[in-house]
Structure 1
Amino acid sequence: MLESASFDNAATAAVRAKPAAVPLDPGARRWALLAGASCLLPLLLQLPPTIAAVIALVGLGVGALSWRRAQPALLRLVLVIALVGTVLVLARFSFGRDTGCALLAAMFAIKPAETYTLRDARSQIGFGLFGPFATFLLDQGPLSLVLGLAASIFALVALQRLAEIDTLAAPGQPRAPAPPVRQQLWSVARLIGIGLPLALAAFWLFPRLASPLWGVPDRALARPGLSDRMAPGEMVELMNDETVTLRARFNGDAPPTSQMYWRGPVLWNFDGRTWTQAWFGGLPPAGFQASATIWDYELEVEPTDDRQFVALDLPLGAPDNARLSYDYGIYARRPLNALTRWHLRSSPPRRFETDLRETLRRAALDLPSGYNPRTLALAAQWRREAGDDDAAIAQRAMDLFHREFAYTLGTPLAGRHSVDEFLFEQKAGFCEHFSSAFVVLMRAAGVPARVVTGYAGGYYNPVGGYWLVRRSDAHAWAEVWLRGRGWTRMDPTAAVAPERIYDTLADRTPGAGGLFGGIGAATPLFNLGDWARRGWNDFVLGFDASRQERLLQPFGVDRLDAPRLIALFVLFASLAGAWMVWLSSRGERQRDPVLRAWHALGRRYRRLRLERAPHEPALAWAERVAKARPDLAAELRRLSQNFSDWRYAGNQAGRRDARELRNELVRALRAHRPGRTGEPR
C-alpha cells in the first residue's frame, strides 16, 4: 500500500513537472512572437485596410504589454470582446470568408497575452499556421505564397528552438545553448526539400476536380466587381481602387484606347436616386448588325464572386459556360470566385436593335413622378424646339455638357432633386452624375435611354504585350435609341472640355488610367511586376482540369484521363516517398563529418568480421576487438573513449573539438588498412 501511494505521488510529481510548465526564456519568446507575426502578416495584407490596421495595432500593443508579465484573465476577456465587436462592426456584420479570416486574425493578435510557457508557445505557433492557410482562401498570388512560405520557415525554426528548451539540462546545470540560426535554417530547408517532390507530384498529377468538395461562403468584404446598381457617390470608392480587374490580350489589332468601352451591367430602372437593372430573363439577346471591324481577344478576369463580367462593346456571342442577356451583359454559369479565362470576339455595332418593342420603349422612358421639375421643363422646351428630331436633342445635351460643365470627383452628396442640382447648380461631377443626368434629360424629352456601366480605357503593358484594366477605370455612359440606328452610345463625360477636367483620377490616385488620362506613375518595375503576376496566373492558378489533361501533349499523349493521371501520380508519389525515406534514413550520421568518419572506421573491420554492430556501444565494440586483436586495443580504446565523450558525455564540443576528433579518426582510417603486416586482415 505504501509502495502504491509512493508510486502515485511520484506520478503526480512527474505530471506537474511535464514540459508544459517549462517557462520561456526571452530568446525563445522572441522567436515565438516573430513566428506569430510572420504568420499573421500575409493574412492582414488581404483584409480591408481599416480592419487590418486595428488588428495590427492591437497585436503590437498586446505584445508590448505582455512582454514582462502576464495580463489578468478579466483584461484578456474584455480585450477579446472589444476586438471581436470592433471587427464585426467594421465588417458591417457581414459574414463570409473575409469576416471569418478577420476574426481569426483578431484572435491570433491577442494570443501573446497568454504565451509564457513552452506549451503556450507551441500552441501559438500551431494556431498561427492557420494564418497562411486562411490567406490562400482570399488570394493565391505569388506574394501570398512567398509570405506564407517565409511564415512556415519561421514557424519551423521557432519549433526547433522550443525543442532545445524541451531537452532540459541536469538539475543545477545550465541549459545547452541553441544551435546557430543559420544551421537551423539549413535544417528547415532540408525538410522542405525532402517534401517538395511529393508536393509537386500532387500539384501536377493529382486529378483536378471540376468543383470543390465543400462550399465556402462568398467573400463578404472582398473587392467586388461592377455593381448592378448606381447611386450617387457609390462609384467613387471603386474609382479610387487601382486593383487589377482584368487583363486582355488581343489576337491581332487592338482598338484605340478611346474606343475601349468594356460593357457591364445595363441599368434601366430609376427611382429618383438609384439606378438598377431590369429583369428581361425571358428575352433573347437583341439583334445587332456588326461592323467590318472584329476584335478577337482573351480575357483573364480576376475573381469577384459575381457572375457578371465585362466584354468590349459589343460581344458577338457568349463564350462557353456563359450566356448573353437581352442587353448584352455576359453572365458566367458559376460565380467568378477564382481566376477565369474567356475567349471573346466583339465588334462596334452599325445598328443595334432598330425595332424596339413597346414594353421596352416604355421601360426606357419611365421616370418617377415628383422629381427634378426643372430638368423636366428643360426637356419639354427642347422637344418643342426640335420637333421629332431625337438625334438633335441628344446632340444638344452633349453640347451643353461640353460648353458649361466640369469634371471633378469632389462633389457634395445630392438631395432629393439630384439631377436638378447637378444641371442647374453644381455643373460639375464625374461619370455617374453625367450619365444619370443625361439619361433623365433624354427620357424627359421622350427619347428612350438607359445607363451602361463598365470600364473605359486600359493600360498597355509593353513587357507582357497585353492590356490591363483596373477598378479605377470604372465608368458609366449612356445609350439612346434613335430611329434607323437603334441603341447608340453617348458618353457625356467624354464631352467635357479637357481644360475643365479639374480633378482627374490621376490626381487622386497616382498611376490611375482610363479614358481621360494615361498611367503616369507606371514604371518598368510596375510593368515587370504585373507581367510576373500574369505569368503566375497562367502557370499556377490557371492550371485547371483541362490543362492537366493536355499536360503530356508535347510527349505525344493527347489526353490524360483520370485512370492515367492516378497511375502517374502513384508512380511519382512512390518515387518521391522513396526519396524521402532515403534522405531521412541517412540521418545525422551522413550530415556530421565526425559520425561519417566513425562509421567508416567501423567498416574497416568488416574483413575481420569485427565490424561494429549498429546497436553496439563504442567502448563495448573496442573491448570486443581487443580480445580478437590485442595489438589494436590501445589505439581503438582511445578513439572509442574520445568519441563517447564527444557524443554522449554532454561536453558539447565546439567546432574546433569536432574538427580535431574528425582529423584523428581520419588519421586512424589511413593507418588501419586491412591486409598489411601488423594491421587488421
Structure 2
Amino acid sequence: MASAALALKPHHRAWALLAAAVCLLPLLLQLPLTLALSIGGCALAIAVLSHRQPMPGALRLLIALGLIALVLMLSRFSIGRDTGCALLAAMLAVKPSETFTVRDARSLLAFALFAPFATFLLDQGPLSLLLGLVGALLVLATLQYLAEIESGDLQPVPARQRLWSIARLLAIGLPLALAAFWLFPRLGAPLWGIPDRALARTGLTDRMSPGDWVDLMGDDRPALRARFFGATPRPQQMYWRGPVLWDFDGRTWTQPNWHPDIPETPVVPARDRWDYEIELEPTDRTQLVALDLPVSAPDGSRMEPDHNLQTFRPLNGLTRWRMQSAPPAQYQPRLPRDVRQYALQLPQGFNPRTLALARQWRQEAGPFDDEAIVRRSLDWIRRDFSYTLETPLLGRHSVDEFLFDRKAGFCEHFSSSFVVLMRAAGIPARVVTGYTGGYRNRIGDYWLVRRSDAHAWAEVWLRGRGWSRVDPTAAVAPERVFDTLQTQETAPDGLLASFGGATSLSDVGDWLRRGWNDFVLGFDARRQQQLLRPFGIERIDDRTLVLLLALAAALGLLWMVWLSRRNEREADPVLRAWHRLSRRYRRFGLEREPFEPPSTWVERIAAARPDLAADLRMLSQRFSDWRYADGEPGGRSARALTMALRAHRPPATSPGERR
C-alpha cells in the first residue's frame, strides 16, 4: 500500500482530531455563543459518527450547507472578518468526516493551523495567543507522529521526547521572529485593507432607542482604561463623553452629520483640568470618548461642534490617546438661532400627553424660568419613578408610555423622555451618551471602565450658563450611576494588600491584560523609537531599515545553522554521552579530536598514559559496535551503553603517583 493511502489507526486519528480541536477552540471563543456551540457540537457529532466508517456524502453536504446557512443568517448575510472566520470554523468542523488516512490527517492538520491565525483577526489577547501556541505545538507533534508511522518505525518515541524536539524546532526560528517584531517599522495603517466585521461589537453607537442597551448593560468586558497624570477628578465628575444625539424620530435618537465648516463651540473652562491617557478597547467604529469636556482633539481625531470626538480611522485595534479635559464654567453661553431651533425639534404626531404636560409647566413657570421646569421634572422623577432593566418594548408613543404608564426603566428611558419633555417646554436639550464612573485598580493605579458602565444623560441650555449636564437617572437611582466609582479609600495601598480582597483576582487579571496591551499590542512607532534610541538610532529611514533587517536576518541565520547542527550532533543520547566522555580527558591533554576514530584515540591515550586506557578500551569497542555494526554484542541496549559512558571517570592519578 502506498504511504499516501496508509490507513489511520483509531489512536492515530484521535491524536489528529485532538490537535485540530485545540486549534479550533480559540476561534470558537471569539464567535457568538449560538454559532460557537452549533459549530462545536457539529464537530463533535461528526467525529463520533465517522469513528468507524466515512459518513455518507449526502449527509456531509447537508451538514456543511446547514452550517454555512447558519453563519450567513447570524451575520445577516454581510461579509466581514467574523463571517469569514466563522465559515472557516464550519469547514474545519466538517473536515473530520473524511479523515481516515495519513494523507487525510495531514490535510486536516494543515487546514487547522489557519484557525489560530484567523483568531488574531478577531482578538489579539494573551489567551488567544496561548491557545494558538498550544494548538500549533500539538499539530507539529502530530505531524511528526504521522511521519514516524509512514517510516515504518515500530519503536514508539515517547511523547515527552517528541514535544521536546518540536520545542527545539521552534527555538530555531524564535530569534528571527522576535527581531522582525521589534525592528520592523510600525506603520500608521496596514498595507492592505482589512474587511470590517459583519457582527458589530457591543458598545456605543450613533443611535439609541429605548431597550437597545439591555445587552450592553450586562457586558462586563473592559471598554477603556485611564491613567491620570496629576489631579484626578472626583467621582461625580467622571462622565466619559461619547456620541451626542440631536435628531429624534419619535422612537430613535441619532447623531447628526456636522458640516466641516461649522465653527467650534465656545467654552469657558473651569479651574480644574485633568491630564490623562486612555487605552481604548477595539470597537470597529470611529467614536472616541473623553472626560466631559475635552479641551482639544488629540492627534488622529477631530472634534465636532458638540465636543464629540471622532477618529479618522476605525478603531479596529487597541489604541491609546493622550488628552486634557476641563469641566465647563460656561458652555456656549450665547446660543445661535439655528442651533436653538435644531435643539427644539420634535416630530409631529407623537407623545401628545407629554407635550400637553410641558405646555402646562411652561405656562405655570413663565416664559423665562427654565430652571424651575428642570427642577420640577427632577422632583417628579425622584418621587414617582423607579430604576429597572426589565422593561417591555414601548409602542408608538414611547415617551408617553414611560412617563405616565410604566414609570420604570433605565438611563435610555430617563434621558430620552427628559429631553423630549424639555424640548416640548421650549428648553433646548440633547441626549449625551457615554460611560460613567470606573473602578480604580490599585495594583496598576489606573481606572477601569467597563461596557456595563454605559450611560445616557441630558444637556439643557440655560441662560447665563449655556449647556448644562442634567442626569435624570441619578435623580431616581444615584447608586446606579455612582456605584462603580467607589475607590475603596479605606483599603491599604500596595500590591500585597490588593491580593487580600474579594476582587483581587480580577484586579490581577486585568492588570496582567493591561501589561500585555502595553508591551505587545501597544508596541507602536513611538515605542519602537524609544527602544532603538539607546543604540543611536533616532529615526528608521530606508537605509537604516535595510541594515537592521539584514543584521537580524544574518544573526537569525547563524543561530538557525548553529542550533540545527547542534541538534543533529546531540540528538542521540549515546552520542551525547560519548562526546561528554571525551571532554573528561581534556585536563590530561588527551581529548579526542573531531576527526579521530574511537580506536585511534584509545591507542593514543594508551601510548601516553597506559593507566588511563584500561577501562576506556572496552567502552570504545562497545561504542564502535553500536555505531557501526548491526547490533551491540551481548544484546546490551543503547540505554545500558549510555549509562556506562556517563558513569566512566578517568582515574585522578597514575599508580606510580599514588602515595
Q: TM-score normalised by the shorter chain: which range applies? A: 0.7 to 0.9
The separation in 1 between residues aligned to 2:47 and 2:119, in whole angstroms, is 22
Tell me which residue corresponds to 1:326.
Answer: 305
Counterparts of 1:261 and 1:612 in 2: how far apart (Å)? 74
> Contact 1:403/1:497 (CA < 8 Å) preserved in 2?
no
Distance 1:272 1:379 in 2: 16
Deviations 1:255-310 (A, max 9, x none): 12222111111111111111111222231221111000001110111111111111
CA contact (8 A) 2:622 2:632 kept: no
Q: CA–CA distance in 1 between the matches of 2:425 and 2:45?
A: 62
Q: Would you say 1:21 and 2:21 are equivalent positions?
A: no
| Separation in structure 2 between the aligned mates of residue 584 and residue 230 of structure 1, nearest angstrom | 60
Counterpart position of 1:240: 218
Which residue of structure 2 lines up, in the alignment, with residue 123 of structure 1?
A: 107
Q: Which residue of 1 aligns with 2:187?
A: 209
Residue in 2 aligned with 1:140?
Answer: 124
1:315-359 alpha-carbon deviations (Å, 9 max, x no partner): 000111111001001111111111111111111111111111111
What is the TM-score when the length of structure 1 is the normalising length?
0.85
**Structure 2 counterpart of 1:310, which letter?**
V
Structure-2 change in CA distance of 1:456 and 1:602 (3 Å): closer
Q: Is this contact kept in 1: 2:278–2:321, CA < 8 A? A: yes
Q: State the Cα distance separating 1:613 from its structure 2 match.
A: 7.2
1:234 partner SS: coil
What is the match of residue 417 of structure 2?
A: 437
Indicate yes or no: 2:65 matched with 1:81: yes
Say which SS state the counterpart of residue 54 (structure 2) adopts: coil
| Cα drift, residue 23 of structure 1 | 0.9
Letter in 2 for 1:123: S
Matching residue within 334, 340, 352 for 1:361? 340
Shifted more, 545-554 versus 330-339: the winner is 545-554
2:509 maps to amino acid: G
TM-score by length of 2: 0.88
Please state whether the residue corresponding to 2:268 is helix, strand or coil: strand
Gaps of 5+ in 1: 1-16, 170-175, 506-511, 623-631, 672-681
Of residues 462, 474, 477 in structure 2, which corresponds to 1:494? 474
Which letter does structure 2 place at the counterpart of 1:316?
V
Q: Quick one: which amino acid aligns to residue 177 of structure 2?
A: A
Paired amino acid for 1:533: R
Task: Give runs of aligned pairs for residues 46-125 of structure 1, distance below 5 A.
Answer: 46-125=30-109
Report how far residue 611 of structure 1 moved: 8.7
Matches within 5 A, 1:637-652: 640-644=624-628
Post-superposition CA distance 1:216-242 (Å, at most 9, x none)? 111121414311011121111111111
Matched, 1:272 2:257: no
Distance 1:644 1:426, change over 3 A: same
C-alpha separation in 2, matches of 1:24 and 1:34: 14
Q: CA 1:638–1:469 in 2, change beyond 3 Å: closer, same or farther? A: closer
From 518, 539, 551, the equivalent of 2:519 is 539
How many percent identity over aligned positions? Answer: 59
Relative distance call for 1:390 and 1:113 in structure 2 (3 A) is: same
Partner residue of 1:226? 204
Residue 313 of structure 1 is matched in structure 2 by: 292
Equivalent residue number for residue 397 of structure 1:
377
Deviation, 1:639, is 5.0
Superposed displacement of residue 595, structure 1? 2.2
What is the Cα deviation at residue 410 of structure 1?
Answer: 0.4
Higher mean alpha-carbon deviation, 582-591 vs 309-318, is at: 582-591
The range that moved more, 129-138 or 23-32, is 23-32
Aligned residue number for residue 9 of structure 1: none
1:160 aligned residue (119, 122, 144): 144
- Give the C-alpha shift of residue 584 in structure 1: 0.5
Q: Which is further off, 368-377 or 254-263?
A: 254-263
8 Å CA contact 1:207–1:562 kept in 2: the answer is: no
Residue 149 (structure 1) aligned to one of 127, 133, 140? 133
Distance 2:632 2:242 in 1: 73
CA offset digits 1:609-658 (Å, max 9, x no partner): x99979x9x99x99xxxxxxxxx99997765334345xx6699x9xx821
Tell me the secondary structure at the aligned position of residue 254 of structure 2. Answer: strand
Q: Is the 8 A contact 2:227 2:277 kept in 1?
A: yes
AA matched with 2:280: V
Q: Partners of 2:251 and 2:619 in 1: how far apart?
A: 98
After TM superposition, give the deviation of residue 200 of structure 1 in Å: 0.9
2:163 pairs with one of 176, 179, 185: 185
Alpha-carbon distance, 1:31 to partner: 1.0
1:171-182 equivalences in 2 (<5 Å): 176-182=154-160
Gaps of 5+ in 2: 489-500, 603-615, 652-659
Q: Determine the C-alpha separation between the residues in 1 that align with 2:222 and 2:647.
A: 66
3-state SS of 1:376 partner: helix
Does structure 1 conserve the Cα–Cα contact (< 8 Å) formed by 2:294 and 2:324?
Answer: yes
> What is the identity, as a one-letter code, of the residue corresponding to 1:286?
T
Q: Is the 8 A contact 2:42 2:94 kept in 1?
A: yes
- RMSD of the TM alignment (CA)? 3.2
Judged with a 3 Å threshold, the aligned counterparts in structure 2 of structure 1 residues 437 and 69 are, in CA distance, closer, same or farther, namely same
CA contact (8 A) 2:625 2:632 kept: no
